[in-house]
Structure 1
Amino acid sequence: MKISLYSLIATLASVLAMVACGGSGSSSVKFENSADSLSYVVGMNIAYNVMKMDSTLRPEVIVAGLSDALQGKEKITLEEGKFYLLSYMNYEVYERVRKYEDQYLTDLAAGDKDIVRTRTGLTYKVGELGNMSNTATHPRDTVAIMYTAKNMAGAEVDPVAERPDTLRTTLMKLTEGISEGVKLVGQGGKITLWIPSHLAYGAAGDETKGIKPNEMLCYEVEIIEVKRRNRR
């Protein structure tokens, strides 16, 4: 269940009004001055932050916590609160994301015999093998690649294809998922990669590239050139 943004904002506003009036306020909030407008914006900001969590959190309990805190009647201590929040961020979100990704990739592979999953969770489909006598295998090998990247909603992210040149870098500077995938084909090869979030940008995401936290990505990669470092 995703929380309705507007219903949450309305509920927050209602509770704030009731708290301010000793519990007898109306759900209709009137802005009498700039402080009232600012107060409302603070409530909106709380709602926006809750929406970003994209979870099954219950709006009425969120509102109860806000109301109790404003009245100094918290039912959970700050230390307990920190524990619950850290547990949620470090374990529960991670576990939900991993389960969703695992099921998605399992179903994907079941529908196409050419799709393969590795032990790390990377899922791929080779379009063209390319020159397998010239593959990048060492972390310091340099590759020139072109790629398009999309999230699971189909929106393009990290638009490297719009740059005037290909991306030229060493394997060690690529994300784990791309680095692993590039090793599977040679120069001139093409490969589709479905990269779980832990092999992509993880819980941090990358706002500059349009990548959200815990987001699985799909890459279409072409290996333009491989330059292997000298092997001793």
Structure 2
Amino acid sequence: MFKLIFVGFFGLFFCVNLNANEISSYSLMKYKADFSKQNQQSKDALVNEYSKLKNLAQVLEASVMKDDVDLEVAKNMLIVDIWTNKFLQSYKPTTNELNELYKIEKPRTVAKYELRNILVSYENNADRIIGMLNEIKDKTQKKDSFIKYVRSVSNDVATKQNNGLTPLVDENKLSPQIKEALKGKKEGDIIKVNLKDVGTQILYIEKYIPEKNATFEEAKEALIDLAKRKAVAKEMELLLK
């Protein structure tokens, strides 16, 4: 236990009743910092800060917040949230458990796209560029021409640095507009999407990886997450019996 602890720049001592684990937890939760690795000045500051916080919380709970319904609900929610997070962190599904879930769930990978992007201010400019690109029949020449337009006219500074190329992305992370425009399209095709108050986006389909049955390794992280969620739900049921 901390008893008389030195804090501050003026050599003052505050009489506090704090558990060392509380200070460590406070440091980690608020600052993502390991209390034990801090220098003495930082440790003193953390002790002082948490002491004041705890004292204020106790005063409020005993006075102006006494019998406050919002406080009661918040405490109940927080207790369950903290327990749930700790349970999820500590629970380690077995290989057999994951294999059974794999057989039951039959997981599939999500379709993925790698796209090149040109952003222009006006739709008629986009239509003109798309028209000229679609006149090019050779796929390599078409792609090279698209990249030239990226460099010369695109307003998207971020993707322009990489010839308009965006990272491979899951289909379910694309905007509804783009997903709709991509339906039935294949690699090498070009689509257009209007972005309100931004401009018009021209997208070239660089790569398309269709949805398929996932291998165990591809699905493993999702299976672990599912196993943990099932385990925490089961544990809650047991606790309420």
Interval containing the TM-score (normalised by the shorter chain): under 0.3
* TM-score where L is the length of structure 2: 0.27
Largest Rg, 1 or 2: 2
* TM-score where L is the length of structure 1: 0.28
Greater fraction helix: 2
Using CA pairs below 8 Å that are at least 6 residues apart, which structure has the higher relative contact order?
Answer: 2
